């Protein structure tokens, strides 16, 4: 995929964040990478969604250097890069401060898998990733945020393609997928599941996680080898 096509896809994915109510002001960004070309397209920093054009999307190489574009990339670029470099098969990354997912991050709670809506998108609990310490913040805040995410998945033995999201403590969600739009869809699913979980816990503080045989069925009918959901 060449830069113009990648830019068009990334500007569209960023605008979808607005349409789905996941961002206010300039609080969010979506990127997509082309692993063959070794390039990443990402939203420019602090630009309003109404003013976003394909030309304003910044093209970055695998080392994080801008190779095309007049604007500065999102300040969260280094976090996106860590995710692309360490999670094989990820083609798109989304970061938002969507309300319910951010509430889970601020409450310091992972998102339990309370039902099939969650199981259709995430194969089990969406983890809480720790906050950074003083040294990590001072040294390279955004890069170390990405490293903390990668480290969490590795230590927990979690497959990032099966659980394509996390909640960072005191911060907000990071979400990924096979493409930019796929990561946006997962961001929508995460926000909806967090909103449903808030209400589930309000009704029943002792709500139980979905039994594993139903989790497997729902996840696999959509994402497994014999998936039969959709027009496949």
Binding mask 17-46 for a copy of itself (x = CB under 8 A): ---x---xxxx----------------xxx
Q: Does 157 sit near a copy of itself (CB under 8 A)?
A: no
> Does the protein bind a copy of itself through residue 53 (CB under 8 A)?
no
**Cα dihedral 155, 65, 74, 47 in deg (nearest 10):** -170
Helix (H, G, I), strand (E, B), or coil: what is residue 146? Answer: helix
Q: Of the candidates 53, 75, 154, 224, which one interacts with a copy of itself according to CB under 8 A?
A: 75
Inter-residue contact 152 to 146 (CB < 8 Å): no
Q: Strand ranges (DSSP E) for 70-111?
A: 92-96
Binding a copy of itself (rule: CB under 8 A), the pick from 108, 140, 156, 224 is 108
Judged by CB, which is closer to a copy of itself: 4, or 110?
110
**Cα dihedral 127, 122, 141, 92 in deg (nearest 10):** 170
What is the distance between the alpha carbons of residues 172 and 106, in angstroms, rounded to a whole number?
A: 8
Active site (annotated) includes residue 61:
no
Phi, psi at residue 145, to the nearest 5°? -60, -45
Q: How many residues bind a copy of itself (CB under 8 A)?
A: 65
Using only the alpha carbons of the chain, give its radius of gyration.
17
Residues interacting with a copy of itself, by CB under 8 A?
20, 24-27, 44-47, 71-72, 75, 97, 99-100, 102-109, 114-117, 120, 131-134, 137-138, 141, 170-172, 185, 188-189, 192, 195-204, 207-208, 210-211, 213-214, 217, 221, 228-232
Catalytic residue ranges: 120, 229
């Amino acid at each position: 995929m060449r830069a113009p096509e990648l830019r068009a896809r990334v500007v569209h994915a960023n605008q979808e964040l607005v349409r789905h109510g996941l961002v206010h002001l300039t609080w969010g960004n979506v990127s997509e990478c082309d692993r063959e070309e070794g390039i990443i397209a990402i939203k420019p920093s602090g630009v309003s969604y109404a003013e976003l054009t394909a030309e304003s999307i910044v093209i970055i190489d695998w080392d994080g250097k801008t190779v095309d574009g007049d604007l500065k990339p999102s300040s969260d670029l280094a976090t996106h890069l860590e995710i692309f470099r360490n999670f094989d098969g990820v083609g798109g990354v989304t970061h938002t401060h969507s309300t319910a997912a951010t509430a889970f991050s601020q409450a310091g709670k992972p998102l339990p898998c309370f039902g099939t809506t969650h199981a259709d998108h995430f194969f089990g609990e969406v983890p809480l990733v720790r906050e950074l310490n003083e040294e990590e913040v001072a040294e390279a805040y955004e890069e170390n945020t990405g490293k903390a995410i990668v480290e969490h998945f590795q230590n927990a033995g979690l497959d990032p393609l099966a659980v394509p999201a996390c909640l960072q403590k005191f911060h907000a969600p990071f979400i990924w997928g096979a493409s930019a739009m796929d990561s946006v869809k997962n961001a929508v699913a995460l926000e909806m599941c967090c909103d449903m979980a808030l209400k589930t816990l309000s009704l029943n503080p002792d709500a139980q996680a979905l039994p594993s045989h139903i989790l497997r069925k729902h996840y696999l009918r959509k994402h497994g080898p014999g998936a039969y959901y959709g027009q496949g």
